[in-house]
Homo-oligomer: A and B are copies of this chain.
Amino acid sequence: MEREDTLRRLKSIEGHVRGVSRMIEKDAYCIDVIRQVQAVQAALSKVSTKILNDHLHSCVITAIRGDDLDDRERVLKEISEVYEMASKV
């Protein structure tokens, strides 16, 4: 269900990107195009937050409650990494 919602959002984002291409083909005003590109980026941020949330409630709980310390360390490190990257993109 979560997955279906994410796929639906990605489908809509794909259409949004195609819409940006059409705007450029029709010589739309640059600033309007940039605003649409920024809207796509914001929509992607929501998708990525949703995926992270699912991940926290599944793999992360399993790894942290499990006994494999390397695995636990790995999932925590990955969260820090995507967080750091999120601050940049």
A residues engaging B (CB < 8 A)? 3, 6-7, 10-11, 13-14, 17-18, 20-21, 24-25, 29-31, 33-35, 37-38, 40-42, 44-49, 51-61, 64-65, 72, 76, 78-80, 82-89
Contact = CB atoms under 8 A, between A and B. Distances in A.
A77 to B, nearest CB: 8
Copies in the complex: 4
13 contacts: A3-B24, A13-B17, A30-B52, A30-B58, A34-B55, A38-B86, A45-B88, A48-B87, A56-B76, A61-B64, A64-B64, A65-B65, A87-B87
Interface SS majority for chain A: helix
A20 B6 CA distance: 10
